[in-house]
């Protein structure tokens, strides 16, 4: 079998190489015989953004796996393939290379789109449950058949910010709407702001730029219709990045039998601001 058509994993370096030659860095924590939970991160972050949930669940006996999306973190920075189909196929590459089965797929923000597209493209043969946290599905962009979406100008603004000074863009997002630090009375946490900035700036410029279209303009409605496993949707009702009515509530309505948990006052970055509650909600869902 030719090297460009096979999937393989280098456990010494904790990488999986995809069929198109992209190296994906991954973490594999907890007991190897524990129930499997995978984590797909948001834009422009990497798998470090899941550390609170991974450390907690690994301590509860779960095998937790998370990779850095192509072009992000410690993974390769390919010029092409920075789109949701490739993201989903990369998740499949990790799952297949590690031979993960009966996995619960957890996706945050853009990672929620990755999970949805994975199920849409690869089915649920290896999937036991799914969790969407502050996730972008069904469709963020305003279109003729999605009139409640956000206008194109919002995402063009992100693209302009990326070109003008993406370092400042990431700092502004983290210092303001991502964690809700722009709300009256909010106390900003410098550590979380710096962590967001560091993760973002580690990503490739072209990759994170292209990803804006991937998370904003990809239509996941057909993918959500293919969900046939228990699904949990968690969303803050003060999410200024991915509004709950456009995303969390709409996804829960499209997935048959989905459970929706709303965090009152929760911002977009609830994996950090509400990590203790989220950890407990994930544990309860996993144990059902």
The contacts of residue 231 (CB under 8 Å, 6+ apart) are 129, 130, 131, 132, 255, 257, 258, 259
Out of 40, 75, 76, 109, pick the active-site residue: 109
CA 256, CA 244: separation in Å to the nearest integer?
18
Q: Is 75 a catalytic residue?
A: no
Strand stretches in 196-255, DSSP E: 231-236
CA 238, CA 147: separation in Å to the nearest integer?
21
Q: Is 40 a catalytic residue?
A: no
CB atoms within 10 A of CB 47: 25
Q: Is 205 a catalytic residue?
A: no
Closest CA to 133 of 211, 277, 236: 236
Out of 41, 268, 272, 281, pick the active-site residue: 268
Out of 28, 68, 223, 239, pick the active-site residue: 239
CA 153, CA 141: separation in Å to the nearest integer?
10
Residues annotated as part of the active site: 109, 239, 268
């Amino acid at each position: 079998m030719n090297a460009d058509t096979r999937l393989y994993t280098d456990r010494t370096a904790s990488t999986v190489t995809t069929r198109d030659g992209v190296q994906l860095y991954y973490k594999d924590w907890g007991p190897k015989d524990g129930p499997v939970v995978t984590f797909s991160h948001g834009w422009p972050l990497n798998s470090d953004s899941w550390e609170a949930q991974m450390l907690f669940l690994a301590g509860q006996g779960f095998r937790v796996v998370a990779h850095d999306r192509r072009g992000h973190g410690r993974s390769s920075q390919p010029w092409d393939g920075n789109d949701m189909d490739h993201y989903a196929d990369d998740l499949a590459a990790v799952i297949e290379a590690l031979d993960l089965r009966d996995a619960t797929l957890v996706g945050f923000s853009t990672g929620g789109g990755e999970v949805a597209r994975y199920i849409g493209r690869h089915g649920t043969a290896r999937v036991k449950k799914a969790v969407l946290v502050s996730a972008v599905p069904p469709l963020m962009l305003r279109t003729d058949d999605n009139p409640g979406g956000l206008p194109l100008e919002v995402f063009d603004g992100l693209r302009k910010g990326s070109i003008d000074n993406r370092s400042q863009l990431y700092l502004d997002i983290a210092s303001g709407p991502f964690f809700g630090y722009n709300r009256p009375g909010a106390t900003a946490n410098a550590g979380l702001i710096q962590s967001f900035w560091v993760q973002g700036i580690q990503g490739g410029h072209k990759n994170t730029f292209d990803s804006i279209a991937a998370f904003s303009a990809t239509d996941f409605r057909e993918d959500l219709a293919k969900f046939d496993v228990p699904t949990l949707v968690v969303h803050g009702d003060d999410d200024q990045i991915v509004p709950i009515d456009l995303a969390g509530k709409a996804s829960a309505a499209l997935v048959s039998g989905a459970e929706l948990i709303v965090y009152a006052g929760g911002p977009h970055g609830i994996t950090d601001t509400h990590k203790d509650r989220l950890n407990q909600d994930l544990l309860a869902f996993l144990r059902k």
